[in-house]
């Protein structure tokens, strides 16, 4: 049941359950991030990590925490939030739980841009990030233009995106087979999605991008919710449907491109986070904030699992396994409801 908080002429409607879910997810994500910072060849107890984060740790411990390991945790939190919110946007636009950016090709486009930079043009981390960003934006533009027929139909956008993803996956495979062995290994490792070796040069631009794009997504959130009623109903309520949809696509692509540029194409977080958040909140609609916090928690917990395994693996491997289990569960649920 929603409640209204009033302060003079201003009023704010809020949901107690949603607030509790968001608080729990935030605590879970931050707790997992602290454990990630404390995990490594030199384990650091949680109290020492907290003291180092507050500037009260010893010189060596504070250097390890703030310079070597904290960027990894910040990148995981920011990338997870970006993927969760982007997934919620595209699942709402396509009106399909499978309509996440890694299914409809935008994440794959970012990977293609990065591979072209790694294998063809060459360059460092900044160049790879720029290539990933341009690849995701170019893919989104092409998919949007192909799907546009006097407007963008949700089902047509989904089909065109899936087709684009299949073609880009084939292109990515071709690029790797034509590369030198060392470059092919580097590209294949990047394609798994990894937080290993992430420094402030990765985490800081991603955090800035999330800080800019998330408020834009929240501002467009009410229009996104009304769009679930259908284009005609949303237009009757005064929503400029096509302009709003274009703006939402741009924001969603920006979020997934920023995440992919920083940590690679981490699979299934954008797919699972919005659906899990919606089930916890028990409300319809995009639920952008819970989806973002769920994405952050999933990615950082996946990273923690990857670090604690006997043989450390990239976080994309962990999220891929967990996401595959989730996808089977989702499809089984849809079949029980007679939708598959």
User: Where are any strands of DSSP class E within the chain?
Assistant: 3-7, 10-14
Nearest to 269 by CA among 85, 27, 111: 85
Query: What domains are there in the chain, each with its CATH number?
Result: 17-334 (1.10.3470.10)
Q: Taking CA 298 as the corner, what is the angle to CA 294 and CA 300, rounded to the nearest 5 degrees?
A: 120
- pLDDT of amino acid 143: 87
Contact status, residue 279 vs residue 220, Cβ threshold 8 Å: no
Distance CA 198, CA 179 (A): 24
User: Where are any strands of DSSP class E within 205-327?
Assistant: none
pLDDT confidence tier of residue 120, bands split at 50, 70 and 90: confident
CA atoms within 13 A on the CB side of 221: 18
pLDDT tens digits for 59-88? 788 888 888 899 999 999 999 999 999 999
pLDDT tens digits for 162-196? 899 999 999 988 888 888 888 888 788 778 888 88
Contact status, residue 218 vs residue 248, Cβ threshold 8 Å: no
Distance CA 19, CA 308 (A): 31
Per DSSP, what are the bridge partners of residue 11?
Answer: 6
Most trustworthy range by pLDDT among 63-67, 222-226, 296-300, 308-312: 296-300
Q: Helix (H) and strand (E) counts for the chain?
A: 14, 2
Contact status, residue 89 vs residue 252, Cβ threshold 8 Å: yes
Percentage of residues in the chain having pLDDT higher than 70? 86
Nearest to 280 by CA among 98, 28, 61: 28
Average pLDDT for the chain: 83
Above 50 in pLDDT, residue 11?
no
């Amino acid at each position: 049941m929603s409640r209204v908080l009033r302060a003079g002429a201003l009023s704010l409607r809020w949901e107690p359950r949603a607030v509790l879910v968001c608080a729990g997810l935030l605590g879970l994500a931050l707790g997992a991030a602290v454990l990630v910072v404390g995990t490594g060849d030199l384990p650091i107890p949680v109290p020492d990590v907290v003291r180092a984060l507050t500037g009260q740790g010893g010189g060596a411990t504070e250097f390890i925490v703030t310079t070597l390991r904290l960027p990894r945790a910040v990148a995981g939190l920011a990338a997870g939030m970006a993927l969760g919110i982007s997934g919620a946007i595209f699942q709402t636009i396509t009106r399909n739980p499978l309509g996440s950016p890694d299914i409809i090709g935008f994440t794959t486009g970012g990977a293609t841009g990065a591979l072209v930079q790694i294998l063809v043009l060459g360059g460092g981390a900044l160049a790879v990030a720029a290539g990933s960003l341009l690849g995701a934006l170019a893919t989104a533009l092409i998919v949007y233009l192909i799907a546009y027929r006097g407007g963008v139909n949700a089902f047509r956008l989904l089909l065109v995106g899936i087709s684009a993803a299949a073609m880009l996956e084939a292109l990515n495979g071709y690029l790797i087979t034509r590369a030198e062995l060392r470059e092919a290994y580097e590209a294949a490792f990047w394609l798994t999605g990894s937080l290993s070796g992430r420094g402030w040069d990765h985490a800081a631009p991603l955090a800035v991008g999330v800080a800019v794009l998330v408020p834009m997504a929240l501002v467009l959130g009410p229009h996104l919710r009304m769009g679930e009623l259908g284009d005609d109903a949303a237009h009757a309520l005064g929503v400029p449907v096509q302009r709003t949809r274009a703006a939402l696509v741009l924001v969603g692509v920006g979020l997934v491109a920023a995440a992919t540029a920083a940590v690679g194409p981490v699979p299934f977080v954008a797919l699972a986070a919005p659906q899990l958040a919606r089930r916890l909140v028990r409300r319809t609609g995009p639920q952008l904030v819970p989806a973002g916090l769920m994405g952050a928690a999933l990615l950082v917990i996946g990273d923690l699992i990857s670090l604690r395994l006997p043989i450390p693996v990239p976080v994309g491997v962990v999220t891929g396994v967990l996401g595959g289990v989730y996808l089977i569960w989702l499809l089984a649920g849809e079949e029980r409801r007679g939708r598959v």
